[in-house]
Amino acid sequence: MKRHFESPIVLLGARLLSPYIMVFGWYVIFHGHYSPGGGFQGGALLAASVLLIRVAGGAHLGNLQIKEWVNNPIAAIGVLIYFGTGLVAALAGGYFLDYGELPIPGVEAAWLRYIGILIIEVGIGLTVMAVLVMIYDNIVTGEDND
Amino acid sequence: MKALKILTLVFFAAVLIYASLDLPYRGDPGNYMHAERSMTDTPVKGSYFIQEAYNDARTPNMVTVVLGDYRSIDTFGEQVVIYAVGLITLLIFKKRRRDKE
Angstrom CA distances, A73 to A38, A48, A66, A76, B77, stand at 22, 19, 12, 5, 19
Of A99, A123, A142, the CB nearest to B97: A142
pLDDT above 60 (res B97): no
Chain A contact probe: residue of B52, B64, B87, B96 with most A CBs at under 10 A: B64
Beta bridge partners of B37: B43
DSSP 3-state helix, strand, coil percentages of chain B (rounded to 5)? 70, 0, 25
pLDDT over 70, % of chain A: 93
Are B80 and A62 spatial neighbours (Cβ–Cβ below 8 Å)? no
Tell me whether residues B58 and A71 touch, CB distance under 8 A.
no
The 10s digit of each residue's pLDDT in B27-78 is 888 887 778 888 888 888 888 888 888 998 888 999 999 999 999 999 999 9
Q: From B72, which residue of chain A is nearest by alpha-carbon distance?
A: A97
The 10s digit of each residue's pLDDT in B2-22 is 999 999 999 999 999 999 998
Nearest residue to B47 via CA among B32, B59, B57: B32
Q: Where are the domains of chain B?
A: 1-93
Rounded Cα gap, residues A122 and A43, in angstroms: 9
* B46 DSSP assignment: H
Are A39 and A32 spatial neighbours (Cβ–Cβ below 8 Å)? yes
Q: How large is the ipTM?
A: 0.87
Task: Tell me the one-letter amino acid at A86.
Answer: G
Q: From A73, which residue of chain B is nearest by alpha-carbon distance?
A: B83
In this complex, is the C-beta atom of A96 within 8 Å of any C-beta atom belonging to chain B?
A: yes
- Tell me how close the Cα of B32 comes to any Cα of chain A, in angstroms: 25
* Confidence at B92, pLDDT banded by 50, 70, 90: confident
Burial A80-110 (b: 16+ CB within 10 A, else e): ebbbebbebbeeeebeebbbbbbeeeeeebe
Length of chain B: 101
Q: Mention every residue, 6+ apart, whose C-beta is less than 8 A from residue A9.
A: none
The 10s digit of each residue's pLDDT in A115-137 is 999 999 999 999 999 999 999 98
In this complex, is the C-beta atom of A95 within 8 Å of any C-beta atom belonging to chain B?
A: no
Are A78 and A123 spatial neighbours (Cβ–Cβ below 8 Å)? yes
Q: From A74, which residue of chain B is nearest by alpha-carbon distance?
A: B83
Provide the whole-model pTM: 0.83
